[in-house]
Amino acid sequence: MGAIVLVQVDIHDRDLYEEYKKLTPATVESFGGKFLVRGTEVLVLEGEWNHDRLVMLEFPDKDSAMNWYYSKEYEKARMIREKAAKAKFFILEF
């Protein structure tokens, strides 16, 4: 069963966030993941969207997604992101 990681991001340090963006792709790929959506414009049809960025990642399964998020490979990038932005991460299986 595949897994999607959905991320809502609110950025407060754009320069530092650019560093995060450079580090993240290699970590995602090393766990079999890929970006489906990475910061494209969100068109709201109903409700509200109050975030700076939406990211969607696809992984082969939930374990791969979890292993990526908690990995040493992603840890450096995650620490930078935590200084540059607030984010909410969700995992959905399909």
- For 3-41+49-93, CATH number out of 3.90.79.10, 1.10.1740.10, 3.30.1360.40, 3.30.70.100 equals 3.30.70.100
**Residue 85: pLDDT over 90:** yes
**What is the dihedral sign for C-alpha 66, 68, 74, 80?**
negative
- Calculate helix-pair angle for 62-69, 72-84, nearest 10 degrees: 70
Query: Which pLDDT belongs to residue 40?
Result: 87
Q: pLDDT for 28-83, tens place per residue?
A: 999 999 999 998 889 999 999 999 999 999 999 999 999 999 999 999 999 999 99
The whole-model pTM stands at: 0.93
Distance of alpha carbon 5 from alpha carbon 57, whole angstroms = 5
Give the pLDDT band (50/70/90) at residue 87: very high
Distance of alpha carbon 11 from alpha carbon 91, whole angstroms = 21
